[in-house]
Amino acid sequence: MVIIAYLTQDEFKELGFDEVEGFEKLVKRAEVSVNLFLNGFYDFVEFEKEIEHRKKAVKLATAFQVSYLDTSGILTADDKQSLSSMSLGRTSVSYQNSAHSDLESTRYNLSLDALNILRSAGFGYKGVSYDR
């Protein structure tokens, strides 16, 4: 699997996101998560020749993912699953994964914003097409 560069630091800023420390490291991790969700789609389709609204969706999802990785500190799917609950003093927080999208976001370590953007562009569809 070849990881394609979906987003530059300048594009990240142009999309309105605040500057993050360690952008190069975070964007590589974000691109891995996005590419896993896309099931390696751009290993077979040239990203630069893709329909403009789908390219924009992938870039925006990657930007949301970079921001999520930066603010949450959760860098891998294993990290996300191991943080199902935590306690600090008398305060306890438990994360419940009841919705299907939550399970997918956990599986790929995608932020909900990134997942929603990708789905809005038609990625992740798992229906069956019947043609008569």
Q: Is residue 1 part of a domain?
A: no
Residues 6 or more apart whose CB falls under 8 angstroms from that of 20 comprise 12, 26, 66, 67, 70
Q: Is residue 61 part of a domain?
A: yes
Q: Please state, as a whole number, how many other Cβ atoms lie within 10 Å of the Cβ of residue 112.
A: 14
Q: Is residue 125 part of a domain?
A: no
Q: Token pair 């976001």 is at which residue?
A: 105
Q: Is residue 15 part of a domain?
A: yes
Amino acid at 48: E
Number of domains in the chain: 1
Domain extent for 17: 9-120
Q: Is residue 129 part of a domain?
A: no
Q: Is residue 89 part of a domain?
A: yes
Instruction: Choose among 50, 25, 52, 36: nearest CA to 3.
Output: 36
Q: Is residue 127 part of a domain?
A: no
Q: What is the pLDDT along the chain (132 residues), one digit of tens a residue?
A: 556 789 999 999 999 999 999 999 999 999 999 999 998 899 899 999 999 999 999 999 999 999 999 988 777 666 665 555 666 677 766 655 544 445 666 678 899 999 999 999 999 877 676 776
- Predicted TM-score (pTM) of this structure: 0.78
Residue 94: DSSP 8-state: E
